[in-house]
A and B are shown apart, each in its own frame.
Chain A
């Protein structure tokens, strides 16, 4: 069964030789049976959206199984909008990750509006980091205010995964990505409430080994048809890769 990991980071990991370039990431993924992955540039996330995103674009170019998401920073709106215009027209860039100054804190809606408006013409999903309930709350606000966008909640609310499921229940343009805590209860609960068609496999690699998240899916007793959707079909459909 092909597997699409929708949440992988390029560069800036404590252990060398794991994700310093696309080749290393492709190797880690291949060793674990992961067929495709969406990469986020840590350089863009932590330092400079413009150069980080461009480096990502260049690095994934020789690896057709790897895709990218443009990182847009609410404190660097101008360069983020430039990066979006530069990259989102390309098929290999499947969406935009919207981040603020503190990755553990919720995004500020006023600072996010310009970026979300700039993304509208591309009709590609918006990724949002949701490590806690406060971030989920703002993500839900965005989902309701920008009903034309589809939002992917990376990390599925962390320990507060019940909030993420409740948000996805309220807004059908929210998708939940499976990384975050390895809690046996969260995936069965999510499938029961929102169905398997809005859940995407993602690991947060290399911070979490994809096999750890795969272990969670396997042990949570997810039915085979739902497993296929979560691991691959939902991502290719959402990112319009089959077209």
Chain B
């Protein structure tokens, strides 16, 4: 069995896809590509209700030992219930995901600041889905002194300069690879801040794992660096 850990997978109904992303599809995709473990979340958590989504994620991860639970949180629905945040960790969630654009909030949101402040006590890794220009820097600034690992997801080549600048000044920040599909993007990050800051992610079963694997294979990085990115880095920060 390989040591690949995919930090970015999903399941559930997804309007952008023309069919539901069934959990069976995710498992089949992992088996096809010899992915040993995957962090996953239910799309219900971003598109409908985090509580419902997190329950679905917990159930799926309970049924499949190879799946690690990623919680979804929405600052727009956070009213200071710290106990709910503490229960995430005790319920086995490995990280918490936030989607500013899809969920309709900005880095300047006071609710986001409050959520980050309260999450600081839990020290759960955060995964932030980037869509807009300048969002990486704005979110990084809003994180203040948050000390647990922070992973930027869905970052494209046009946000590369902003991303690398943030990675340089915040040692607890990382980036997942599913949208780093531009020629030379992964290598540019590795050469600027080290391969240990990159985490393999595919977006499967919505996106093809093969694309993410091939882009990494052709990144020009050494086999050792690619092995780190494919699993060791994520295991280190999730442990």
Give A contacts to B, CB under 8 Å: 13-15, 17-19, 28, 31-32, 159, 162, 182-185, 189, 205-209, 211-216, 218-220
Contact = CB atoms under 8 A, between A and B. Distances in A.
B16 interface: yes
B208 interface: yes
- Lowest 5 A-B CB distances belong to which pairs? A215-B211, A215-B210, A206-B183, A219-B208, A211-B214
Contacts of B90: none
A206 B205 CA distance: 24
Nearest to B218: A211
Interface in B1-22: 16-19
16 contacts: A28-B183, A182-B207, A182-B211, A183-B16, A183-B207, A184-B205, A184-B207, A184-B208, A185-B17, A185-B18, A207-B158, A209-B215, A211-B217, A211-B218, A213-B211, A215-B209
B161 interface: yes
Interface in B153-186: 156-158, 160-161, 181-185
Contacts of B17: 183-185
Nearest to B185: A15
B184 A17 contact: yes
B208 A14 contact: no
B119 interface: no
Contacts of A15: 157, 160, 182-185, 188
Interface in B139-158: 156-158
Contacts of A209: 181-183, 214-215, 218
B70 to A, nearest CB: 20
B19 A185 contact: yes
B105 interface: no
A185 B208 CA distance: 10
A162 B181 contact: no
Interface in B103-130: none
Contacts of B212: 212, 215
A219 B182 contact: no
Contacts of A14: 157-158, 160-161, 182
Q: Determine which residue in A19, A159, A184, A205 has the highest number of CB atoms from chain B within 10 A of its CB, and name it.
A: A184
Contacts of B206: 183-184
Contacts of A207: 156-158, 182
Interface of B: 16-19, 156-158, 160-161, 181-185, 188, 203, 205-215, 217-218
Given A14-B182, A182-B208, A185-B17, 14 more contacts: A13-B157, A15-B160, A15-B188, A18-B184, A31-B218, A182-B203, A184-B205, A206-B182, A207-B157, A209-B215, A212-B215, A214-B211, A215-B213, A219-B209
A222 to B, nearest CB: 12
A219 B210 contact: yes
Nearest to A31: B218
Contacts of B181: 182, 208-209, 212
A220 B206 CA distance: 11
Nearest to B161: A14
Contacts of A13: 157, 182-183
B97 to A, nearest CB: 20
A231 B141 CA distance: 45
A162 to B, nearest CB: 7
B211 A212 contact: yes
A206 B160 CA distance: 14
A223 to B, nearest CB: 17
Contacts of B160: 14-15
Contacts of A183: 16-17, 206-207
A28 B184 CA distance: 10
A205 to B, nearest CB: 6
Given A182-B207, A208-B182, A220-B208, A214 B214 contact: yes
A176 B183 CA distance: 23
Residue with the highest number of chain B CB atoms closer than 10 Å, among A28, A214, A215, A216? A215
A162 B18 contact: yes
Contacts of A205: 183
A82 B228 CA distance: 53
A168 B119 CA distance: 49
Contacts of B157: 13-15, 206-207
B214 A206 contact: no
Contacts of A216: 208, 210-211
A189 B213 CA distance: 24
